[in-house]
Amino acid sequence: MKIINLGLQDYTQTWDAMKNFTQARDVNTEDELWTVEHSSVFTQGISSKTEHLLENSNVPIVDTDRGGQITYHGPGQLIVYCLIDLKRLGIGVKKMVSLIEISIMDLLTAHSIESHLKDGAPGVYVDGAKIAALGLKVKNGRTYHGLSLNVDMDLSPFRQINPCGYQGLKVTQLSDLTDNINLDTIANELSQILANHVTRH
Q: Show which residues are catalytic.
A: 164
* Region class of 173: left (phi > 0), else alpha (psi between -120 and 50), else beta: beta
Q: Report, in this order, helix, strand and coil percent for the chain, each rounded to 5.
A: 35, 35, 35
DSSP 112: T
**Encoded amino acid at 196, one letter:** N
Nearest to 163 by CA among 73, 101, 36, 58: 73
Asked whether 160 and 59 are in contact (CB, 8 A), the reply is yes
Q: Give the burial class of 139: count Cβ atoms within 10 A of its Cβ; 0-12 exposed, 13-18 middle, 19 or more buried.
A: exposed
First to last CA, the chain: 13
Q: Distance (Å, rounded) from C-alpha 53 to C-alpha 44? A: 10
Quote the crossing angle between the two packed helices 183-200 and 93-110, to the nearest 10°.
Answer: 140
